[in-house]
Every structure is written in structure tokens, then in C-alpha cells.
Structure 1
């Protein structure tokens, strides 16, 4: 019923067959669940200013962060130039990858998949990404994506991940070490609000 009303959407994980996650589509509902519902008694007692002051971190992580991630995913799917991401994006979602050697789980805020090739070849994995609203992204974030791309090349033969762009989207910009590392690299895409919304 929530899906039919457009309040909840099921998003398949392209890297884990048969696995999906659900996302609340309405930011006001997310805000209610993250900020208002846990502090309902204080709000009824008219302590709204105090509730708001104490809820800033939760608001940023549970409301602003996920909303910014979805904005970047929709930009990648609908507005990004094909040359920027290495082709036309057919699907985009968040995804999870497990490294069996280290038994660690890697969460990706963005996985952009291209159109299926003719025949039975692997699907092009155009981009993988890290999206952060509340902090500046640095070189360590780029190195993490490089490791994940190498892992995808080894473990996911159904995808052509060798040329996947490494997309880093920051609501608060980027550290100088990341800007320097990305300079001159066609496989690294830095996305800030100016790029999202046009300069």
C-alpha cells in the first residue's frame, strides 16, 4: 500500500541478486520519524527549540544525508552528461559489496549501470560513488573507491567494471588532497552542488 501511494520505493541491489532495500520517498515522513517522533513529549511541552538544537546531528545523518544521496543518484540518471560518466546510465541505486577475503562489507552510495550490450557480454558498470552531505571528502575516500573497483573487477564478471568512473559527491566540497589527486584523471568525477544545479 505504501509503495502504491508512492511513499516507499523498493530498490534492487545490482550487485546482490535477489536483494533489495526500501527507501522512504517523502522527506517530511523521514523528518517526522528521525526528529519529531523520538521527542514527542518534549514537543508537546513546547520545548521545540531545545528539541531542534539536540536533533541537529540526527537530522543531518537521517534526513539531509539520505536526501542528498538520492539527489545525486537522480542527477546521475537524468542530468549528467554521458561523457562525464562514460556512457548513458540505464539504472542507478545504492549497493553493497562483500569482500570474502577480509569479510568486510562495502556500502556504495551510488552504482550507475549502463545499457546491456548486445549478446551475452557483461553489463557496463559506468560509475561507483561515495556521497556525503555533512563532511568534505578527501583522498582516503578516493582510495576506498579504487579498492572497491578493483574488487568488482575480480568478483563480478557479470559487470565490466574496469573503466568505472569514481564519483565523489560532497555537499560541503572537497579537501585539497582529493582535488589534487583528481586533477587530470578522467576516471574521477567530483560532484558539488554547483555541478548538480548548474554553474
Structure 2
């Protein structure tokens, strides 16, 4: 399989809030657009590798302490992973042509576990105002196993109610539009080099 593109989204409010707290006061962690549309960014497709691939600690600029205003260059000191689910798409749409939200499911081949690696100290310094760059483009690891969408049908449940009214193009007809899947992370080894 070839990864031709990679877009990373906030999967839920807790995810968006926790990330927002890295950059802002918790009272302002969520940007005003978050409750109105899917928030994501395009990342480096060539950095998506199979789990177990050796990952090199990224090198970048960061502030050593919050009170210091001059950055230093060095290896990441706050390496982080987020356990996520990746969707592999099996169809494409012509450039610029939207996909109806009720047809989006027809484009998903299956799901994989995805570890979204982040250099949080580098990200905190470089991500404002344009978003992540070196802090997020060095590795995303996926499981070698793909779970086909048919296998997930028994786990469909209604999604959480939206806090804001969505524009019509984001409202699905199907109310059982999320999967009740419990995920767990187990760290077995960290190399501090």
C-alpha cells in the first residue's frame, strides 16, 4: 500500500482541548471554529511507517523555559505519542469536487491503529500561527493490520450531540455514526538517547 496523502484531524473535544492547552491558557484552549467544522492539517505522507520502524528523535528549535524568549536548537525533550485511529481511503474524488457526508463511508477501506508522534517542545515554539511543521512531520506509525469497515458494524453507536448547530453539509442522516471502540496504550521501552 502506498500512502499518497495524510490528513490529521482532532478526533474529539478532549483531544482538541488538550492540544490547545499546550499553546494557550485552558480557558482559551479551543479555537472558535472547533465546534463548527472538522479541524485538521495535512502532514507528511512519507513519514507514515509501519509500527516497529525505528524513529529518530527530531531536532528542532524550542524555548528551554517559558520565561526565555530566545530559542535553542537541539533534540526534542518532550517527545509524545497519541494513540489514534487511521482511516485508509480506497477511492478518490476529482480535485475540488466535494464528497457528500452521507457518501464518505464508501471511500473508507478500513481502519488501522495510528501512533501520532509529536515533538511538543518544538511544536509549542513553531506552530503558531501556521500549525505544526518539524514537530509533527518526522513519524506517524500505523499497525500492519487493517480492520475492514464491515467488521466494525456491530460497534456503531450514536455520536455525541453537537454543542453548536452544524451547517447542513456536515449533518449526517445516520445517527449511529461513530464506533464504540476501547483503545489502550502500553509503553514497554523508552530510549532516552
Taking structure 2 as the reference length, the TM-score comes to 0.27
Q: With a CA cutoff of 8 Å and minimum separation of 6, indicate the structure with the bigger relative contact order.
A: 2
Q: Which has the higher helix share?
A: 1
